[in-house]
Structure 1
């Protein structure tokens, strides 16, 4: 209790001093230059700084504002160990947001930011929906959505934006149907989804996008409280009733909804880009066996690692990590892109896309441990359906612009590309 009061008082004091100095919060960078490497890319490649840190400084101190102690791990084994350790670390970040100006605890929720026993209870509610057996019933719907969006891509051709016509709509419509949400303004959600993970606009801009999306989800929860629909939200309300609060349910929906379309949309666009670099790789996915497609999808997930950095973990006690002393409350983040490119795990050619690669153990694109992405199998299913269907429908698919002209996200927790102009047929 005393610790909570001190944290709230400290936060309010900092905010008061900022306002006294006339500083516009929207202009404060979310991360200073010295801490940006984990969110940057050169094309689809992590910047060289990540490989340098992985080999010379496995636990790197991040220079964050207000003396906020935070550390970055970049190696595969270190990342896997941190993500699996629930006893030493907490995922709950809501203590950082109090009442008053800016985001509050009600703006933060979902499985990624909670600890047991709340995390255990919430995950138990939704986990059955994301088993392979339950997800199998969605396969025909995903195939139908994909076919419809490929028709739209054809209609927009002969040159069209794959990101707009296919990559975003397929996962967006899929997750909307799963949750039982009314089909909202897709373009608006596309803009908000990108903004909430973008660190270039400052913290105020990112949290503004979070609040805008969560306002929609809170309204959806309130509506379904009165009239539970046929989707997952309605089913949870029927099963749990008042045992689950609107805030917790909206947090669950937010994590599933945003994680269910933003990351998969990025993977469809970027996965297509990578496959088009080599005709043999495209042919493997277009004409290969189910096993060939599965292996290529796993390698794309490893190679691209669109979720670039893990949710922060907070040390529960004073401890040692990689020879460095952590104080209770220090944050530890993991570079997922750095871990998945670690040669000690993936091999000497870890920076090369190889659809025949068989690593010794699983990649970390979906995280690891108790907080591993609950929608991992759904994302895999969508990629296994969309990528082969796209390449079969358009066997001569090609980039319409040089790859170096594409607008990749420059500083984002979820990597992606703004547009992907493609030509559909051979000219």
Structure 2
């Protein structure tokens, strides 16, 4: 468990920040060293940046916040700021920019890191909101890990043989527990005002009243999703929103991304390897429209964001919200599938040590879970430290995802963490679970 003094003691904060930054950089190095330079500079999908852009962008953001803002130092290479501004150039246009070549991008990121560690060594972790409790260092570690997940998505999209390998999750017995769990009616505290490295959209903590509802004990599996396909789900307009129906028709979508049918069975491509779709894994690479259609077909619905967070954080016995479903302790390999230590979801029902007090499993890790909610600010929201992290995305265009995936590091994943994307996105490591109103009777 995170000791209380680690949130205030300078040496504990220094160690925590150093560990987070080092873990992120080790992963970045692996993701950008496992392929040759032409693969780093190529754009493998118009949805994604060249890997070399992510590498230099990571260094540029670290320089901006840790060296310029925190330490007050002059810009190292101000002429490249515009090249690596994510809002100035859309991803599809980035290959045409005069980007730093791989060797130069690595050198720049390494030089920034060396200077940032000097700043960390003498940091006082007080004085401003940016430096309090090491927030800026935590923000940068989270930023890098988010790009590590983005780069892993790029690896999944790239053609050719596998460049990454990892052991599979441990086999798990077929889950035979209840299909759903009742979450009783009542208030709970949503969001946080105390998690030191929480980002602005997670704040502030506030009470929400949530009617009773049932939620799936595990994420929806490939086998369950195949039943939807076999029942003609993609061809039945009843299950789709008008926008969703138009989208799947326009793009000839008939199954999750990377799936194909061959010889009477479903196959998928996963990081350069073709394999039979495993029936007991959570379904992956589905967009919001697909998740919503499946839920309607099953006579259910997607959970709201507040329902998801209550299921993941509320301890009814103690009547309080915890950091994670299992309590306040930091994640371990026994709790959840995180950190890219595996390159696939674990079987549904895995990680009983990570279950919530009500018995809901795999709320953290494995797959990002679509909710029915639009990305909106919490009451009392204040943008910090810049509007472009969250505020510019608020509105009905984006749907909220919760829980993290196998590609997410623990530093960028907690019970309050909010992710979001367009409802058409499928390249992300997204799945879902369903819910229903308690008043609807038995399932």
TM-score w.r.t. the length of structure 2 is 0.25
TM-score w.r.t. the length of structure 1 is 0.25
